[in-house]
Amino acid sequence: MSLRSLAFLLCCASTGFAQAIAPQIASRLTPENLKADVAFLASDTLQGRATPSPGLDAAAEYIASEFRKAGLEPVGDDGYFQTATYNVVTPNMEGFEITCGAVRVTSGVIGEAVSTDLKNAPVVKATPAEIDGLTAEQVRGKVLVVDQSAGRGFGGMRRWSSLSTLEPALVLILYPDLPRAMGSRPALRDASQPAPKFAAVIVSDPSLKEALAKPDAAVSVRIPAPKIEIAKARNVAGLLRGSDPVLKDTYLIVTGHYDHLGVRGTGPGDHIFNGANDDASGTSSVIEIATALASLGERPRRSILFLTVFGEEVGGYGARYYTTHPIFPLSQTIADLNLEQLGRTDDTEGPRPLQFNLTGFDYTDIAATLAKAGAETGIKVVKHEKNSDSFFSRSDNVTFADAGIPDTTISVAYIYPDYHAAGDEWPKLDYANMAKVDTCIALGLWNMANSDQAPQWNRDNPKTARYLEAAKKLAGK
CATH number for the domain harbouring residue 466: 3.40.630.10
- Establish if 465 belongs to a structural domain: yes
pLDDT above 90: percentage of residues in the chain = 80
- Does residue 5 belong to any structural domain of this protein? no
Confidence (pLDDT) at 395: 94
Could you tell me if 429 and 38 are in contact, meaning their C-beta atoms sit under 8 angstroms apart? Answer: yes
Spatial distance between the Cα atoms of 412 and 379, rounded to a whole number of angstroms = 11
Judge whether residue 272 has pLDDT over 80: yes
Identify whether 10 is part of a domain. Answer: no
Examine the fold and report which residue of 225, 259, 294 is the final residue of a domain before the chain moves on: 225
Q: 225, 246, 277: which is the final residue of a domain?
A: 225
Tell me the per-residue pLDDT of 444-477, one tens digit each, with 9 for 90 and over: 999 999 999 999 999 999 999 999 999 999 999 7
67 shares a domain with 96: no
pLDDT at 59: 98
Q: Indicate the number of domains in the chain.
A: 2
354 has a pLDDT exceeding 70: yes
The C-alpha atoms of residue 284 and residue 403 are separated, in whole angstroms, by: 26
- Model confidence at 265: pLDDT above 60: yes
In this predicted model, what pLDDT tens digit does every residue of 42-96 receive, in sequence order?
999 999 999 999 999 999 999 999 999 999 999 999 999 999 999 999 999 999 9
Strand partners, 229: 88
Could you tell me if 437 and 352 lie in one domain? yes
Are both 324 and 175 inside the same structural domain?
A: no
Q: What is the pLDDT of residue 4?
A: 47
Average of per-residue pLDDT across 202-216: 92
Backbone phi and psi for residue 118, each to the nearest 5 degrees, phi listed first: -115, 140
Question: Within this chain, do residues 117 and 161 fall inside the same structural domain, yes or no?
Answer: yes
86-128 pLDDT, tens digit each: 999 999 999 999 999 999 999 888 878 899 999 999 999 988 8
* Residue pLDDT, tens place only, 362-402: 999 999 999 999 999 999 999 999 999 999 999 999 999 99
Contacts of 150 (CB under 8 A, 6+ apart): none
Is residue 406 a part of any domain in this protein? yes
Average per-residue pLDDT in the chain?
91
The distance from CA 28 to its chain's CA centroid, rounded to whole angstroms, is: 27
- Between residues 190 and 34, which one has the greater pLDDT? 34
Are 291 and 156 within one domain?
Answer: no
Taking the CA of residue 277 as centre, how many other CA atoms within 13 Å lie in the half-sphere pointing to its CB? 29
Domain containing 125 — which CATH number?
3.50.30.30
Of 255, 234, 259, 256, nearest to 311 (Cα)? 259
Q: Is 340 part of a structural domain of the chain?
A: yes
Is residue 18, in this structure, part of any structural domain at all? no
Work out the average pLDDT over 253-267.
Answer: 95
Same domain, 65 and 117: no
What pLDDT is attached to residue 13? 44
* Confidence at 9, pLDDT banded by 50, 70, 90: very low
Domain stop point among 180, 196, 225: 225
Comparing 39-53, 182-196, 271-285, 297-311, the range with the smallest average pLDDT is 182-196
List, in order, residues 6 or more apart from 398 with CB less than 8 Å away.
155, 158, 316, 392
314 closest CA partner among 343, 273, 282, 268? 273
323 has pLDDT over 90: yes
CA–CA separation, 37 vs 422, rounded Å? 19
Regarding whether 163 and 53 lie in a shared domain, the answer is no
Residue 237's domain comprises: 23-88+230-474
Confidence category of residue 179, pLDDT binned at 50, 70, 90: low
The CB-based long-range contact list for 379-382 (8 Å cut-off, 24+ gap) reads 379/354, 379/355, 379/436, 379/437, 379/439, 379/440, 380/354, 380/355, 380/356, 381/355, 381/356, 381/440, 382/355, 382/356, 382/357
Residue 49 and residue 159 share a domain: no
In this structure, is residue 14 part of a structural domain? no
pLDDT score, position 404: 97
Same-domain check for residues 62 and 207: no
Q: Is the pLDDT of residue 164 over 90?
A: no
Are residues 412 and 296 part of one domain?
Answer: yes
The answer on 251 and 166 residing in a single domain is no
| Position 1 in a domain | no
Q: Are residues 81 and 105 in the same domain?
A: no
Is the pLDDT assigned to residue 176 strictly greater than 90? Answer: no
- What is the predicted pLDDT for the residue at 314? 87
pLDDT of residue 399: 96
